[in-house]
Amino acid sequence: MELMAFMEAMGTSGIPIIAAFFIGLMTAISPCPLATNITAIAYASKRIDNSRHTLLVGFLYTLGRMFTYVAIASLIVWVGISTQAISLFLQQYGEKILGPLLIIVGIILLGLIKFNFSQKNDRLGSLKEKLAHKGFLGAFLLGVIFALAFCPFSAVLFFGMLIPLAIQAGDGFVIPAVFAFATGLPVILFSFLLVKSVNKVGTIMNKVQTFELWMRRVVSIVFIVVGAYYTLNKTLGMW
Amino acid sequence: MKHYLLLFLLGLVLLLAGCVNVNQSSENSSSVNLSNSTINSSICGVSNNCNVSSVSNINKVEVIHFHGTNQCYSCKTVGAYAEETVNTYFADEVKSGKIIFKHINAELSENRDLAVKYGVTSASLWLGTYSNDGKFSAEQNTNVWYKIDNKTGYMNYLKGIIEQKLAGN
């Protein structure tokens, strides 16, 4: 059976959860989400010394995506807000903001701009910092923001296929959550594999720290490149 | 730490902007009276077995490819194959006006009413059926998206769907 025929059979399955999962997988490999997912994989792989950490970051990124998709689906299914209005708004502004945002984040991660922190004594502040340092908060927020950036094709999959499914089932939570999990699944898998293999090479060469420094630089560059992709895509309409 | 804060703030702004628009949209939706029709037509799109048996006497069928200004590769392909299907298999119906094919940029203000009438939410292929007694029903077809890597399969599939519409099924 051909891959697309299989995806169609699964994506139009009579069992909504299975359909949602496969529509999510389709989304994960479509151009725009793929670009954001590559960025997320890079982000999750920042700390190459700890593959458990990478898995957690991958899960939090997926949780962030889940938050956004469930929020939108619930607003449509349970609050009754017009799909058309939300969809057109997000397609119009979502990705326009994303490109420049990624470039800025990339520049900050690269260390070209440095900030001084003055609230280190504050308990809540230090907890937040701890979370942020581990990349958990950042991963969640990346998921939230990336999911908001709808490109034409991901909008087709979400608003054209998933939302009608959720409306039909009257479910604004489980169906979008399963969909979100599938969109983030490649991030969890690939970042885990990447960290495992890079860490192994680093250990063999006894250069884990050097590898980590380079990993951080690569991550920053990935952010900038993906940011440029979004900016150019929106301007030139290449995809 | 600061860049996380920056991320958070920007995320918040995005979300808030979304919420503001959502509120505006909900107000607008009542004026254009599309909520139910949009939902119904979308549901038909997923199952592809939308019941239009009430429309037995078909006056014309509109095949419309809605798209944005910035089109993705798949979006262009869905539209191009649909146009080719109509021109290849339904040339006589196109001439007689029984079938109308259009590419419509839903982002342009002059097309807004049509996009609202159909309940368009993204790039999409719609089949609008007008009966002789003036009834209109619209159905989005989402299956075509899975067939863009198989042109023959796509065209044969859509041909069958259009034939069903013409027959009032």
Distance CA A44, CA A132 (A): 13
Strand, helix or coil for residue B100 = strand
ipTM of the predicted assembly exceeds 0.85? no
Q: Name every residue whose Cβ is closer than 8 Å to that of residue A42 and which is 6 or more positions away in sequence.
A: A218, A219, A222, A223
Distance CA B81, CA B71 (A): 15
Task: Annotate A150-186 with b (16+ C-beta within 10 A) or e (fewer).
Answer: bbbbbbbbbbbbbbbbbbbeebbeebbbbbbbbbbbb
Residues 193-222 of A with CB under 8 A from B: none
Q: How many residues are given for chain B? A: 169
The one-digit pLDDT tens for each residue of chain A (239 residues) are 578 888 888 888 889 999 999 999 999 887 778 878 888 887 777 766 677 888 888 899 999 999 999 999 999 999 888 888 888 778 777 767 778 888 887 887 776 655 544 445 555 556 555 555 667 888 898 899 888 888 788 888 999 999 999 999 999 999 999 999 999 998 888 888 888 887 777 777 767 677 777 777 888 888 888 888 878 876 555 54
pTM for this predicted structure: 0.73
Distance CA A158, CA A28 (A): 11
Query: Is the CB of residue A202 less than 8 Å from the CB of residue A52?
Result: no
Distance CA A73, CA A159 (A): 9
**Does the beta-carbon distance from B1 to A128 stay under 8 Å?**
yes
B123 and A CB contact within 8 Å: yes
Query: Is the CB of residue B100 less than 8 Å from the CB of residue B62?
Result: yes
- E-only strand ranges, chain A: none
Place of tokens 């014309």: B60
Distance CA B39, CA A16 (A): 17
Residues 138-157 of B with CB under 8 A from A: 140, 142-143, 145-147, 149-150
Residue numbers in B near A168 (CB within 8 A): 43, 46-47
Rg (CA), chain B: 19
**Does the beta-carbon distance from A86 to B21 stay under 8 Å?**
yes
